[in-house]
Amino acid sequence: MHRRIQWPDGKSFAFTIFDDPDHQGSGSVEPVYSLLSELGFRTTVSVWPLRGSGRPRIGGVTCEDPAYRAWILDLQRKGFEVALHNATYHTSSRQETHDGLERFKTLFGHYPHSMANHTGCRESIYWGRDRLSGAHRWIYDLLHPRQSPDEFEGHIEHSPLFWGDLCREKVRYVRNFTFSEINTLKACPMMPYHDPDRPFVQSWFAGTEGPCVTTFTDMLREENQDRLAAEGGASIVYTHFSQGFVEQNRVQPEFERLMRRLSRLNGWFVPAHTLLDFLATKRQGQSLAVADRSRVERRWLLQKMFKTRGRS
Ligand SMILES: [Zn+2]
């Protein structure tokens, strides 16, 4: 059911972005953040605290690069949220994940408020088919015939990759399903929610798909911006700013045009965890009804079956 939210400061809707560091180099997306900062957006930038030691499926710059680290700390000072994208860009043991969390805390002064699992990390928590329940899991298996059932083990207590207890203790929000719908709250009205069947995650949140600049700008086209505002909704766009948002050290023009337009609407432009904290105060209970979870799982599976674009 669609909830109408009274946003703080007389704002009429909420919009934020969760940026995934895949393929980023040091300095490679700085023009995007200069623009966001200038326009008054305070979004979420996720990082890898540790440099990897093996070959990743998808890698990128980590907090062990001094120039990148200084830049991320500067973003944090400006009011951006720094979030976690696993300890590093490839599979980490329990000890490595522990070290990554501690390194994050040393760098940023607190454990991560929010995180998203990274592609190819087998310690990802409740990932792959484990995102789904009951019959939905079997449909997922039919769509992903090559993945073995135990590919993701962060929540499996006997696995050397287990870190569920650390996740539950230290991380408030973990990203789960993403949708093409701009109004994330419409696609997942119960977020942030606790799922009793996935006890090592305190609270889950959903995202809106905008994985590269073309999908992002299509999702953020004028009519969608106006509908998000009219519905009084909330959008948490999941993206990779390395994917076409910067061309020859300049922000891609269509992205800039649409973000400038959005900045002039009466939106609440705060980081993902601030938005989720606020939504949590509007909750009746933190726990999830099975029917609600089924509806969201079904919506996500249907989208997966009929749309192929985007990584989610
Ligand atoms: Zn990633």
What pLDDT sits at residue 283? 75
What pLDDT sits at residue 284? 64
What pLDDT sits at residue 54? 83
What pLDDT sits at residue 287? 67
- Ligand 1: centre distance to CA 312 (Å): 10
Beta-bridged to residue 203, according to DSSP, are 173
Q: Inter-axis angle of helices 134-143 and 290-306, to 10 degrees?
A: 10
What pLDDT sits at residue 312? 47
Low-confidence ranges of the chain (pLDDT < 70): 1-3, 146-150, 284-287, 308-312
Q: Inter-axis angle of helices 253-263 and 30-39, to 10 degrees?
A: 20
Report whether 49 contacts 104 (CB < 8 A).
Answer: yes
Report whether 39 contacts 257 (CB < 8 A).
Answer: no
- Ligand 1: centre distance to CA 12 (Å): 31
Cα dihedral 4, 7, 12, 15, rounded to 10, equals -100
Inter-CA distances, 279 with 47, 237, 270, 284, 286, Å: 24, 16, 12, 11, 11
Cα dihedral 263, 19, 240, 142, rounded to 10, equals -120
Longest Cα–Cα distance in the chain: 51
Helix count and strand count (H, E) for the chain: 11, 10
pTM: 0.94
Rg (alpha carbons) of the chain, rounded to whole number:
18
- Ligand 1: centre distance to CA 118 (Å): 4
- Ligand 1: centre distance to CA 46 (Å): 9
What pLDDT sits at residue 145? 73
CA pair distance 130, 143, nearest whole angstrom: 14
CA pair distance 190, 295, nearest whole angstrom: 11
- Ligand 1: centre distance to CA 230 (Å): 32
List, in order of start, the domains of the chain with CATH numbers. Answer: 11-306 (3.20.20.370)
What pLDDT sits at residue 70? 98
Q: Tally Cβ neighbours within 10 Å of residue 23.
A: 16
Hey, is 51 helix, strand or coil? Answer: coil
- Ligand 1: centre distance to CA 37 (Å): 23
In the DSSP assignment, the letter for residue 16 is E
Q: Which residues have a Cβ under 8 Å from the Cβ of 190 and sit 6 or more positions away?
A: 288, 289, 292, 296
CA pair distance 207, 303, nearest whole angstrom: 14
